[in-house]
Amino acid sequence: MVEAMIGNTVPPRCLVLGGRGFVGSHLVDGLLAAGYRVRSFGRLHTGHHEPRPGLEYFDGNFENLDDVRSALKGCDICYHLISTTLPKSSNGDPCYDIESNLIGTVRLLDCAVSQGVKKIIFTSSGGTVYGNPRYTPIPESHPTDPICSYGITKLAVEKYLEMFRTLHGLEYQVLRLANPYGERQLTRGSQGVVAIFLGKIIRGESVEIWGDGSSIRDYLHISDVTRALIRCIEPGRPVERVLNIGSGVGVTVNELLDSIEAVTGRTAERKYLAARAFDVPSNVLDISAARRSLEWTPLVSFTDGIARFSSWLKDNPQAL
């Protein structure tokens, strides 16, 4: 069991797939600070790459089975943070979404079993696996009817994780994340509305809003995401294998822009466009199970999180 290994004098080695990305780089920092040995897996010359004691980098491609197999060797725990698609792009080529993410993950699980990995922690999507919610806040028991390929693939991975646990004893934890945001997130990327809007407003660019700005989302600061991910491998936690990780508080797009304006002292130039078919009107997660199972609760309010992110961008203007 992972609990037994954590009690040993030699700390477990954790593989972080996607360790140079936004969430992954923060997780790597958190694991190192907690005393774990860490192997960060990602493409060469991408993302954050800072040599530190206890950290090794593995250059590879998730779609290359040999790379994945080699990276898993000698690891006790595997964090799977990689996705090759985005919610808004996945419907354009669902076959690629299935081939790269679902089939790629099943191959990962096969390799994990053969390499003796004890536990997989998978970041699923609290924003897409439920589809159009029948009620909010959304508990883990809510029906799952995704309306984008991204969400369907995430849900399918969750089912395969349970299959591998039943057949092979491979333990797992699924965290259905809300919308993470914060320091190191790309302001010119294609995902992460907080980062994109904050960057545009600071640069004096107009902001495009799909719909009338009344759609509601659950946003979570990256420090709270990291704490939840690390709690999953601490000893003595109750076994609730699928958990929502969010703030539990809904924020409309218009409120998001209001908050950015208040923090930055700048006025957003808002351009409202037609709503998109795959965007659900409201998504707020019930995080009661995570409070109970992980003894975790978010600590950073939305306003404080925006202020932290904005301050970091001032200190790191190259990120704009």
Active site residue 150: yes
Q: Is residue 186 domain-resident?
A: no
Average pLDDT over residues 109-138: 97
What local confidence, expressed as pLDDT, does residue 47 receive? 63
Reported confidence tier of residue 10, pLDDT bands at 50, 70, 90: confident
Pair (227, 92) in one structural domain:
yes
Residue 105, in any domain of the structure: yes
Q: Are 118 and 257 in the same domain?
A: no
Q: How far is CA 209 from the centre of its chain?
A: 23
Q: Is residue 148 part of a domain?
A: yes
Residue 2 has pLDDT above 60, yes or no: no
Which residue shows structure tokens 């996945």? 90
- Report, as an integer, the average pLDDT of 21-48: 91
CA separation for the pair 278, 27 (Å, rounded): 30
Bridge partners (DSSP) listed for residue 41: 17, 58
Structure tokens of 29?
């920092």
Q: What is the mean pLDDT of the chain?
A: 94
What per-residue confidence (pLDDT) applies to 46? 65
- Note whether 210 and 170 are same-domain residues: no
pLDDT band at residue 226, thresholds of 50, 70 and 90? very high
Segment 246-267 mean pLDDT: 97
- For 126-168, give the DSSP string: TTTTT-S-SSSSBPTTS----SSHHHHHHHHHHHHHHHHHHHH
pLDDT-wise least confident of 40-54, 119-133, 250-264: 40-54
Mean per-residue pLDDT for 221-227?
98
The answer as to whether 187 is a domain residue is no
Query: Which residues are 218's β-sheet partners?
Result: 250
Assigned domain for 188 exists = no
- Domain hosting 270: range is 193-217+249-286+301-319
Same domain? For 44 and 172 the reply is yes
| Residue 36 domain-assigned (yes or no) | yes
One domain, residues 39 and 166: yes
Count how many residues are written for the chain.
Answer: 320
Question: Distances in Å between the alpha carbon of 31 and those of 15, 23, 55, 124, 183?
Answer: 10, 12, 10, 20, 17
- Indicate whether 310 and 234 sit together in one domain: no
Residue ranges with strand state E in the chain: 13-17, 37-42, 55-59, 77-80, 119-125, 171-177, 179-181, 206-210, 216-221, 242-245, 250-252, 269-273
Q: What is the pLDDT of residue 237?
A: 76
pLDDT score, position 1: 40
pLDDT digits (tens, 9 = 90+) for 257-312: 999 999 999 999 999 999 988 888 999 999 999 999 999 999 999 999 999 999 99
Based on the domain organization, do 175 and 47 belong to the same domain?
A: yes
Question: Are residues 148 and 253 part of one domain?
Answer: no
Looking at the structure, tell me whether residues 78 and 223 fall in a common domain: yes
* Marked catalytic residue, from 57, 130, 150, 181: 150
The answer to whether 125 touches 150, Cβ cutoff 8 Å, is yes
Same domain, 59 and 132: yes
Give Cβ neighbours of residue 197 (< 8 Å, ≥ 6 apart): 207, 256, 257, 260, 268
Q: What's the confidence (pLDDT) of residue 51?
A: 78
Given a cut of 50, whether residue 104 has pLDDT beyond it is yes
Q: Which CATH number characterizes residue 29's domain?
A: 3.40.50.720
134 and 89: one domain? yes
- The two beta strands, 250-252 and 216-221, are antiparallel
Return the higher-pLDDT residue of 255 and 278. Answer: 255
pLDDT of amino acid 6: 46
pLDDT confidence bin for 8, thresholds 50/70/90: low
% of residues, the chain, pLDDT over 90 = 88
Q: What is the CATH number of the domain that holds 270?
A: 3.90.25.10
Residue 174, pLDDT > 60, answer yes
User: What is the count of structural domains for the chain?
Assistant: 2
> And the tokens for 54?
């206890």
108/267 Cα distance (integer angstroms): 46
93 and 50 assigned to the same domain? yes
Asked whether 15 and 71 are in contact (CB, 8 A), the reply is yes
Residues with Cβ within 8 Å of residue 301, at least 6 apart in sequence:
none
Confidence of residue 238 (pLDDT cuts 50, 70, 90): low
Q: Would 206 be classed as within a structural domain? A: yes
